[in-house]
């Protein structure tokens, strides 16, 4: 039974990687393209109710989808370490930073926002740290949305349209691409939303970043 061979087990991890990734990225787009825009227009009571009851449920699937995507991805990378493409290298870098943003920035700050909303609903005062927590989570989430566009491109192109393989001659392009990614990640942690504030802006930035990273890998 081929499913129980090494290739079959590898495929099962790929299947799990795809299922978890769809869950994670689908909810990322929901948060950024649907929920955030709704909260801008919703009445205070409706927004508070959603933060208390809807957001925690969505965040549970979101963060554990990210975790399972990351862990299955590690297994797949281990199985293919001898033939890493440029595409999967940058795609994995983007995916790893996105995973870290979820667990180290978005989720910890969202917990504060949720706790504050629950405290206010119970007749108490808002947590003072909630005012700063919401923008931090939002910026990291917008950054992840921007990263998701090239990440998905390079994950797919690695198997179907690879730019090349890791070697001494390709390290300049990989290095430049990595510097660009880390600079944007730094802004996602300590900077401002800028053009990522709007839905159109974050989508445009995602496609522009994909073109820039592709150029770095293909021509440098």
Residue 68 is part of which domain span? 2-219
Q: According to the model, what pLDDT value does residue 82 have?
A: 65
34-92 residue pLDDT tens: 999 999 999 999 999 999 999 999 999 999 999 999 999 999 999 877 678 999 999 99
pTM metric for this prediction:
0.95
Question: Where do we find the tokens 């802004």?
Answer: 187
Instruction: Domain count for the chain, please give it.
Output: 1
């Amino acid at each position: 039974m081929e499913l129980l061979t090494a290739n079959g087990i590898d495929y099962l991890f790929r299947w799990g990687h795809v299922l978890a990734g769809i869950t994670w990225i689908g909810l990322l787009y929901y948060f950024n393209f649907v929920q955030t825009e709704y909260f801008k227009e919703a009445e205070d009571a409706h927004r508070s109710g959603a933060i208390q009851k809807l957001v925690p449920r969505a965040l549970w699937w979101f963060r554990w989808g990210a975790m399972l995507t990351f862990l299955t991805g590690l297994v797949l990378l281990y199985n293919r370490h001898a033939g890493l493409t440029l595409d999967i290298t940058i795609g994995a870098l983007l995916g790893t930073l996105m995973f870290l943003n979820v667990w180290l920035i978005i989720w910890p700050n969202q917990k504060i926002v949720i706790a504050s909303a629950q405290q206010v609903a119970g007749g108490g005062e808002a947590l003072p740290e909630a005012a700063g927590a919401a923008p931090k989570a939002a910026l990291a989430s917008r950054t992840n949305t921007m990263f998701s566009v090239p990440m998905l491109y390079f994950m797919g192109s690695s198997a179907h349209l690879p730019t090349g393989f890791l070697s001494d001659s390709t390290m300049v392009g990989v290095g430049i691409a990595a510097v660009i990614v880390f600079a944007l990640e730094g802004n996602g942690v300590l900077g401002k939303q800028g053009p990522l504030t709007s839905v159109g802006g974050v989508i445009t930035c995602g496609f522009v970043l994909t073109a820039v990273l592709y150029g770095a890998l293909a021509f440098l």
